[in-house]
Structure 1
Amino acid sequence: MKTATRNTGAAEVVTLGYYLKVINKFKWRIALLAILVTTLAMVWALQLTPSYRASATLLIEAQQRKAVSFEEVYGLDASKKEYYQTQYEILRSRAIARDVIEQLNLLEHRDFQPKPSMLSWVMNDIKQWVKQYIPQKPQTLPSTADAQQAYEKRMQKIITAFSRRLSIHPIRKTQLVVIAYESSDPALAADVANAVGEAYITHAMQAKMGIAKQASGWLNDRLSILRERLDKSEQKLQSYREREDLVDIEGVVGLVRRELEQTAQQLVEAKRNQSELNAIMRVVDEYGRDDIARLESINEITTHKVIQDVKREVVTAQRKVSELRQVYGPKHPKMIAARAELATVQENLSAQIRSLVMGLEKEMRTANSTVSALQQDVEQLRQRFQMLTRKETEYHQLKREVETNRNIYDTFLSRSKETEVTSDFNSPIARFTDYAYQPTNPAKPNRKLIVVLAFVATLGFGIVLAFLTDALNDTLNNAEEVENKLGQRLLGVLPSLPSSKRKPLPTHTFFDKGKLAFAEAVRTFRTSLVLSQMDRDNQVIEVTSSVPGEGKSTTSINLAFSLGQMEKVLLIDADMRRPSLAGRFSLPAYQPGLANVLANTQQLEECIHVDEQSNIHVLCAGQIPSNPLELLSSENFKALLAHLRQQYDYIVLDTAPLEAVSDALVVSQHSDSVIYVVKSGSTRQGLVKAGLHRLIDAKANICGVLLNQVNGKQKQGHNAHYGYYDSHGYTQANAPT
Structure 2
Amino acid sequence: MTSALVPDVPQYARVRRPLPYGRSRNDQATPAEGQISLRDLLRIVLRYRTMILLIVGVTTLAVVVQQMLSPTLYRSTTNVQVELIDQVGTNQADVNSRNAERVANAVRLHRSASAAEQVIKDLNLLHNPDFLKELGNPQLTGKPLLQAGINKLTSMIAIDSEAGSDLIEIAVVARSPELAADIANEIPPAVRALRGAKSNERRGELLASLEQEQQARGRTAQASAQLVADFRTRNHMLAGAGTDEDLNQINRIAVQSAAATAARDGAAARSAGIARASLMQSTATATSAALNALEQRRGDLVAEASKLSTSLGPNHPDVKRVNSQLAAVDQSIAQERSTVQAAAQADADAKGAQMAQIARSEADGDSAQASRLEGIVAGLSSMAYKNTTNRVELDKLLRQAELDDDAYKSISARIEQVRAQMQMEGVSSSVVSPAVPDYDPIAPTPLKLGLTAFVGSGILALMIAYLRDFLDDRLRTTAQIRRQFGLPTLGMLPLLGRNLSVDPKESPVITEPQSLFAEVARSTYTEVRGLQRRAGVQVVLVTSPLPGDGKSTVSLTLAAAGIALGERTVVLDLDLRKRGALQQLQNETAAPDLVDIVCGRAELDSLAIPQKGNPYDTPEASMTGESVANQIVLLSAKEPVAEPAVLLSSNRLRTLLSQLRERFDLVIINAPATLAVRDARAMCNFADQTVMVARWGVTTGDQMRAALESLDDSVGGVIFDQVDYAEHARRRYGDSVQYYADSATYYSTPVPAHEAWAARVRRFFRGHSWRPSEV
TM-score by length of 2: 0.47
Which structure would you say has the larger RCO, counting Cα contacts within 8 Å and 6 or more residues apart?
2
TM-score by length of 1: 0.49
Structure (1 or 2) with the larger CA radius of gyration: 1
